[in-house]
Amino acid sequence: MIPVQLQPEPARFSVQVQQPGEAFLARIPRPTAEDWNTHSYWTRVLDDLYRAYSGICAYSCHWIPMDTGARTVEHFRPKKLYPQEAYRWANYRLVCSTLNGRKGDHEDVLDPFTLSEGWFILDFPSLFVQPGAHLLAAQKEQVMNTIKRLGLNDEGTCLQARINWLRDYITVPLPFSYLEKKAPFLAVELKRQNLIEAIREIMVY
């Protein structure tokens, strides 16, 4: 994970999402799961969210192809626990459906909107996500909890995606600028560790 800058609220957000959402909550302050499903006004701005964050999942830091249908609006503060935040733009994160499901209503995941640089780093050649070496013990625990909760080192999902992006970068080859757009965490770590070119000698495909 890397820090993500909160993007401006879409011009139509208040009319399409916030106003009808708050009117719903005024009538039903403690919604059930079925209530949320029938009042999911946030889906109206999913395209805006996707464009605002360049299609990059806030947690995996990988591009979400639009044609897969796997892009979702993730409520960082879970709507079940904080219904008053359910229709607030600042509470939305663009997240792939897999990691959205893994986070669920848990609150042990660090927020990319308030994250500092270097909290999450990549080890080469394993490509495992790890806590930054400079962190205090409590901070490292927060990072490890986030990694575990989201499965950022799971072989079948996030880890494999990093392998795929790096392999294409090395073998196609892809320009580094493309990697910066589609897999920015990987690009940040290659740059930080001075491996933009040297990685071709470390990783052989």
* 66-120 pLDDT, tens digit each: 876 699 999 999 999 999 999 999 999 999 999 999 999 999 999 999 999 999 9
Distance of CA 97 to CAs 38, 68, 75, Å? Answer: 19, 10, 12
Structural domain boundaries of the chain?
Answer: 13-103, 120-202
Distance CA 73, CA 90 (A): 11
Token pair in block for residue 45:
């701005």
pLDDT of the residue at 163: 95
Task: Specify the long-range contacts of residues 101-105, CB closer than 8 Å, at least 24 apart.
Answer: 102/149, 102/150, 102/151, 103/59, 103/74, 103/149, 103/150, 104/78, 105/78, 105/80, 105/81
Q: Which of 68-72, 137-141, 182-186, 195-199 has the lowest mean pLDDT?
A: 68-72
Q: What is the pTM of this model?
A: 0.94
Closest CA to 119 of 127, 108, 128, 129: 129
Which residues neighbour 19 within 8 Å (Cβ) at sequence distance 6 or greater?
Answer: none
Determine phi and psi for 149, rounding to 5 degrees: -60, -45
Each residue's pLDDT tens digit, 125-150? 999 999 999 999 999 999 999 999 99
